[in-house]
Amino acid sequence: ADPARRTLERDALERTRRRITTVRGAAAPTGAPSDKPKRTIFDAERQENLPGKKMRSEGGQATGDDTVTRAYDGLGATFKMFLKAYGRRSIDDSGLPLKATVHYGEDYGNAFWNGEQMVFGDGDGEIFKDFTIPVDVTAHELAHGVTQYTANLEYFGQSGALNESLSDVFGSLTKQFQLGQTADEADWLIGAGLLADRVTGVALRSMKAPGTAYDDDVLGKDPQPATMEHYVRTSRDNGGVHINSGIPNHAFYLVAKALGGHAWERAGKIWYATLTGGELATDADFADFAQATVSAAQSQYGEGEEQRAVLDAWAKVGISD
């Protein structure tokens, strides 16, 4: 080959090398959502002011407060489940920072998402222990954020019970993902380890057997129905959002059990696609949601065992479209 051509070839090679180096060395475009969480844990010091005193930021050392550590680790486990199982980057899928306040209030017996952050009480030690103990409770609260940024289901009546149920589903899936459990191995409980000594019970709720989580003088009996036959009409609890959530919770459990294996895989993907697919109205009822899960199963897996499992599960809990 003539020298001119050899020069051209050498230049082309050089350009390619430079391009590879440039691409390899390039920083991620600014604003790109990251694969790492951005966690901050605050301490309300038994007051009710939010967010409270900053205790630990992302990458920071453990503080020596187990509650702060559990909140930090629980947010990390939830972030990881949403990323690895569904490719979701945080609450808004754009890397939204995760904020949580612990030691909220005096003996405060609850945890919640306030529209911007998670909040955890210490419990009184007699009825409830520290709400950062069960990872599924932490994941439940974070999942309220995911629902807010996606289907945004109104927190009342059936749409509210679906909102609650989705938090239980992704709460339980976070625990199952962390433990590497199959649907058969999982306990399907929400809040195992949270009830203190004065309460006769195992958890806040059971997706496998709604209505059986506790039966007790202090808390009464777990009021959750598993099927429409026992649907509760009430004006309390925003129209029974934490009560009738037992019905869609049990439907998810039945799908996961029918399919077997890891519940975050096929069953979870169908529910995640339903939550994020943009087809649900903010006031969707159980029948609307059931219909949307059937379509999600079909678009992801066709008319096979997945769709049949979904149809069977809703029929068993008394919902048909």
Residues engaged in binding Zn ion (CB under 5 A)? 167
Identity of the residue, 148 or 300, whose beta carbon is nearer to Zn ion in the bound complex: 148
Identity of the residue, 111 or 183, whose beta carbon is nearer to ligand ASN in the bound complex: 111
Instruction: In angstroms, give the least distance from the CB of 89 to Zn ion.
Output: 22
Q: Which two tokens stand for residue 232?
A: 């509760």
Q: Which does 183 bind (CB under 5 to 8 A by kind): ligand ASN, Zn ion, none?
A: none
Identity of the residue, 119 or 254, whose beta carbon is nearer to ligand ASN in the bound complex: 119
What is the rounded CA–CA span in Å between residue 269 and residue 238? 28
Of 141, 250, 262, 306, the active-site residue reads 141
Kindly state the greatest CA–CA separation across the chain.
Answer: 96
Q: Which does 112 bind (CB under 5 to 8 A by kind): Zn ion, ligand ASN, none?
A: ligand ASN
What is the rounded CA–CA span in Å between residue 79 and residue 4? 56
Q: Which does 122 bind (CB under 5 to 8 A by kind): Zn ion, ligand ASN, none?
A: none
Instruction: In angstroms, give the least distance from the CB of 109 to ligand ASN.
Output: 10
Instruction: In angstroms, give the least distance from the CB of 104 to ligand ASN.
Output: 12
Of 103, 140, 144, 242, the active-site residue reads 242
Cis peptide before 51 (omega within 30 of 0): yes
- Known catalytic residue: 141? yes
User: Which residue number is nearest to Zn ion in terms of Cβ?
Assistant: 167
Instruction: In angstroms, give the least distance from the CB of 148 to ligand ASN.
Output: 12
Identity of the residue, 167 or 307, whose beta carbon is nearer to ligand ASN in the bound complex: 167
User: Which residue number is nearest to ligand ASN in terms of Cβ?
Assistant: 112
Instruction: In angstroms, give the least distance from the CB of 111 to ligand ASN.
Output: 5
- Binding footprint of ligand ASN on the chain (CB under 6 A): 110-112, 140-141, 164
Identity of the residue, 150 or 167, whose beta carbon is nearer to Zn ion in the bound complex: 167
Catalytic positions are 141, 242
